[in-house]
Structure 1
C-alpha cells in the first residue's frame, strides 16, 4: 500500500514567543511572526494554511482568516536552546538537543591546532590584533563564524580549486571532535582564491575573528557545504532509521544541506516555487517513503526584516501547499510546521524563539487537537511510528502506527 509522510517546514514561521523568553532571550519576549504579518497586512489570506488550521494553532482569528473546525492542529515548543535552523531540523528528525557552549574561537584554538597536527596536518597560526585563527595545509581557514550569533559556530573555509571538499570535510570533522559550540560549518566554492579569503577577514567586538562568508566569493560557483552539529548522531534520526528500513527518503531545500541522509536523496534549493515543485514531482514518483522540504525564503525575509517579502513568500508557499494537497492519497500524511520564528518586525535580524504551528492533514482524519508538543521531535517520531520502525532518539508520536 502506498504511503508518503511529507513534512513542509516554513523556515522561521513562528506563532508567538515561548514562555521562557523572558529568562533566556529577553529581546524575543514580544516576538510573534504571524501576528506581525497580520498587523501589517490585515487582509492577508492564506487559504490552504487556514484550511489546515493555522488560526486554530495560533489561538485567534484575523479579519480574513478563521478557525477551521475540521482541522488537525497543535503547536510545538522548541526543546533546543535558542532558535536555530540547524538544531531545529536535527530536533525535528528526532535528536535530543544538547546545549552547546558559546565562546570565541580563541578559547579552543590551541586545542584544535594540537588535534590537527597530531593527525598529520600542517597548521599555521594567523595572528591579527591579538586574535588567532588557523590555516590548515595552506588552504583551509578555521575561525569564528561571523554570520550566526557570535560564539555559536566555527567555520572551516577553503577555495575548492586548491583543496578538495572531501579533504576540507576531514579537517572539519577533526575540529568537530574538539569544538563544543553548536556547529562547525565546512564550506567552499570554486573560482575564488586565498586572496579572496584574506580580503574577507574581519574582527567583531574585539573578540571574534573569521572569514566573512558573504565576502569570500565561496557562494558564486561550485558551492559545497556541510553542517556538523554538536551532539548529533544521524543514526538515531528519522531519515537514517527509515532509510535503513528500506523506505525512500527525500530532502529538498535547506534541509538537504543540514540533515544527514546517507540512504536517500538530497536536493539543495532556495527558490520557493522550485523547491515546492520538486516536492510535488517527488510525490508523483514516490510510492512509499518520507519527504521533508524546507521553505527557506520565509526565513531570509525575516532576516531582511521585510514583512512585504515575507508575505509574498508565504502566499507562494500557501498556493503550492494547496497543489501538494491535491496529490495526497488516502494513506498519505502531510505535516506543515516551522523550526523557530523570525519576526520581521521585532527590531533585530536574528531568529526569534517562538512556538511553531503543527498542522496535520490526512484524508479521514478531522478535528483533532494535538495540543502543545514539548519538542519538534514529535514529528520525526510520528513519521517512524507510521511506518512501524523503531522510534528516533527523542520525541513521541501523535498518531497511531496505522495513521
Structure 2
C-alpha cells in the first residue's frame, strides 16, 4: 500500500456513448477533447504522453501508463451521480417529481417517523418539520430532479437533519435529496423569508437568498439508489484510512476525512500537493478539477483549454515526486462539450489513466462502469469490496 490519488478532470469526455441515439440524442456528436483541440491550440504533453491522445485515436498499446476508457452506468450525465458511480455505486434511473405531486404522502411518511409536520404557506406544497426545517423543490435544478431540505441548524442539529434526510430518501425517487443548513447565517426566519415559486408549480427555498451558503455551510447529498456505505470513501472511513476530499469531491462524495471544497484549479492542485507531502502514512486523495466543467457550461473553449494546460503543467512536476508504491488515477465523470450547442453535460465515455512507479503500462480495456475505479481503490488498500465495480489493480 501507499498513497492513491484520484484526479477527476470534471467533464472531460472522449466521445459520445453508443446509447446516446436512444437516451440523449442531442449528444450524439459530442467529443469534448477533440472539439477543444479543433478550436484551441491545446498543449498537454504530459497527459498525451501518458496515453490520452492514444485513447482518443483508438490505440490499445500503451508504454507510459495503464490506460482505458469507461462508460457511464448512471442515467444521463451528472457530476453528483457520476461521482457516486466512481466511488462504487450504480445509481438508479430517477423519476421527476415536484413537491406538489408527493407532499401529502411524504408528509404522512415523516409524521409516521415521529416528526411534527406543518403547512404554513396557505396549502402550498412545502413542509415545515419540527419548526426547524423546510422541505421543498430545488429551484436551481431542472424541474422535478431534486428535493431540498433547508434547516436552521440551531433548531435541528445537522446529525438529526441527516437522519431525517435518510427517511425522505427512502420515500422519494427523484435524482437527489439535498439536506443543508448554516448555523452561522441561515435562521428559520431567513429560510421562511426565502420561500418562493420558481417555474410554475415549483415551490421551494431560494437558497442564495436565505444566506445559507458560505462559511459554516453543511450539506448532505443522497442520490437515488445510492448506498453510500458501500462506496470506497465510507469503507475507508470504517477502518480509519485517511481520505482527503479536495475540490468538488468535498461536496459530492460522502466521507469522514478532511474536506476542502475549493473551486479555483490552482488552489485545488496546491492543496493536493500540500496534503500529499504532509501525509506520512497510507492515504487516499479524491480530487476534482471543477473549472473544466464550469468552462463547458459556459461554452468557453479557451478557458477549458487553459485549465487543461494548467493541470498538465502541474502533473509534470507532481508525477516524478510520487513515492514507490503510490498510484495516480486520472479520469473524468462525464463529458461537457463546449461546442455542442447547449450548455449541459454530455453523455460521453471518459478516459482512465493510471500511473506510478509500480504501474504496468498497458490497455485496461473499455470498462462497463466507472465504478471499477472505486473497486480498484478498495483493492489497492486491501479493504472490503465496493458494492459495484470490478478492480483492475
The TM-score, its normalising length taken from structure 1, stands at 0.88
Q: Which residue is equivalent to 1:4?
A: 3
Task: Give, in whole Å, the separation in 2 of the partners of 1:233 and 1:22.
Answer: 30
Matching of residues 218-229 of structure 1 within 5 Å: 218-229=212-223
Task: Give, in whole Å, the separation in 1 of the partners of 2:170 and 2:223.
Answer: 10
Match of 1:379 among 369, 373, 385: 373
- 1:272·1:295 contact (CA, 8 Å) conserved in 2? yes
Match of 1:88 among 82, 106, 121: 82
Distance 1:22 1:132, change over 3 A: same
Q: Which residue is equivalent to 2:57?
A: 59
Q: Which residue is equivalent to 2:233?
A: 239
* 1:208 aligned onto 2:207: no
Distance 1:196 1:306, change over 3 A: farther
Moved more, 52-61 or 228-237: 52-61
Moved more, 19-28 or 315-324: 315-324
Q: Show CA shifts across 1:310-356 (max 9, x none).
A: 22222222222333213212211110001111122222222211111
Match of 1:269 among 262, 269, 272: 262
Match of 1:115 among 109, 119, 135: 109
Matching of residues 1-150 of structure 1 within 5 Å: 3-41=2-40, 43-59=41-57, 69-125=63-119, 132-150=125-143
Distance 1:31 1:288, change over 3 A: same
Distance 1:212 1:321, change over 3 A: farther
Q: Show CA shifts across 1:245-287 (max 9, x none).
A: 453322222212222223x333322222122222112222142
Match of 1:108, SS? helix
Task: Give, in whole Å, the separation in 1 of the partners of 2:176 and 2:250.
Answer: 16
Task: Give, in whole Å, the separation in 2 of the partners of 1:94 and 1:245.
Answer: 17
Distance 1:119 1:311, change over 3 A: same
Q: How much does 1:241 deviate?
A: 2.7
- 1:280·1:327 contact (CA, 8 Å) conserved in 2? no
Task: Give, in whole Å, the separation in 1 of the partners of 2:328 and 2:308.
Answer: 17
Q: Which residue is equivalent to 2:385?
A: 391
Distance 1:139 1:387, change over 3 A: closer
**How many residues are aligned here?**
389
Task: Give, in whole Å, the separation in 2 of the partners of 1:57 and 1:357.
Answer: 7
Match of 1:101, SS? coil
Runs of 5+ consecutive residues of structure 2 not aligned to the other structure: none
Distance 1:170 1:388, change over 3 A: closer
Distance 1:334 1:145, change over 3 A: same
Distance 1:24 1:277, change over 3 A: same
Task: Give, in whole Å, the separation in 1 of the partners of 2:237 and 2:161.
Answer: 27
Distance 1:82 1:131, change over 3 A: farther
Instruction: Give the alignment's Cα RMSD to 1 decimal.
Output: 2.5
Q: Which residue is equivalent to 1:64?
A: none
Moved more, 23-32 or 68-77: 68-77
Distance 1:363 1:210, change over 3 A: same
Distance 1:9 1:53, change over 3 A: same
Task: Give, in whole Å, the separation in 2 of the partners of 1:37 and 1:51.
Answer: 18
Q: Show CA shifts across 1:162-209 (max 9, x none).
A: 6543443333232212111121011223434535654462331x2432
Distance 1:241 1:170, change over 3 A: closer
Q: How much does 1:369 deviate?
A: 1.3
- 1:159·1:191 contact (CA, 8 Å) conserved in 2? no
